Amino acid sequence: VGPDDRGHPDSADPWLDERQQRSWRTFTLMQEQLRSRIEQGLQRRSGLSYADYAVLSALADCEQHALRAFDLGRALGWEKSRLHHQLTRMQKRGLIERRTPTGSRNSRWVEVALTDDGLDAIQKAARSHVQEVRTLVIDALSERQLSQLDSASQRILDRLDEIPCADDSGG
């Protein structure tokens, strides 16, 4: 699917040229493959999903190893429902616990905290995970390339914030 070779370069051509198309495909393929590989390694070595790791890691990085669920969701960029289900599963496995934050009985906020098992899990998983990220990505790129990737990512993130979710507007 794409522009049939009818050779009418309209003013607002919605299609991509060869090179753009190839770049986009390479990029998305890389994303898929990379995520899948990292997910796989994490699962095999530590019994954690990437989602598990993200949650544990975010909690481990903060003061009391605890965060309000809402803030955690914002930090991860997750839908509230996804976070809720994820936390429920992790709680069942004893990796985290939910409580009402100190100093306010009975609020609408939920606090999520690392358990000892959770801390243990993330500490054991971190080293090999970081190692793998380094091997597959960081060391694959020059310092310059990494910094370029960073700014491109930032640029796209900004774009996502600037531009609202497009409504149905295609004929």
Partner DNA sequence: AAAGATTGAGACTTCAATCTTC
Partner DNA sequence: GAAGATTGAAGTCTCAATCTTT
Positions in the binding site for DNA (CB under 7 A): 36, 39-40, 43, 49, 51-52, 68-70, 73, 78-82, 84-89, 98, 104, 106-110
**Shortest Å, Cβ 34 to DNA:** 12
In angstroms, the CA 27 to CA 43 distance is 24
**Shortest Å, Cβ 79 to its own copies:** 8
Nearer to DNA, 32 or 150 (CB): 32
**Shortest Å, Cβ 103 to its own copies:** 27
In angstroms, the CA 141 to CA 135 distance is 10
Binding test (CB under 8 A) with its own copies, winner from 64, 100, 107, 131:
131
In angstroms, the CA 22 to CA 28 distance is 10
Instruction: Please choose which of DNA, its own copies, none residue 108 contacts, taking the beta carbon within 5 to 8 angstroms, the exact cut-off set by kind.
Output: DNA
How far is the CA of 62 from the CAs of 29, 58, 91, in angstroms? 33, 7, 19
Element containing residue 34 per DSSP (H, E): helix 18-46
Q: Is 109 in the site for its own copies (CB under 8 A)?
A: no
Q: Is 2 in the site for its own copies (CB under 8 A)?
A: yes
Binding test (CB under 8 A) with its own copies, winner from 20, 88, 100, 104:
20
67 φ, ψ (degrees, to nearest 5): -150, 155
Binding test (CB under 8 A) with its own copies, winner from 7, 9, 14, 103:
14
**120 is written with which tokens?**
């243990």
In angstroms, the CA 73 to CA 121 distance is 21
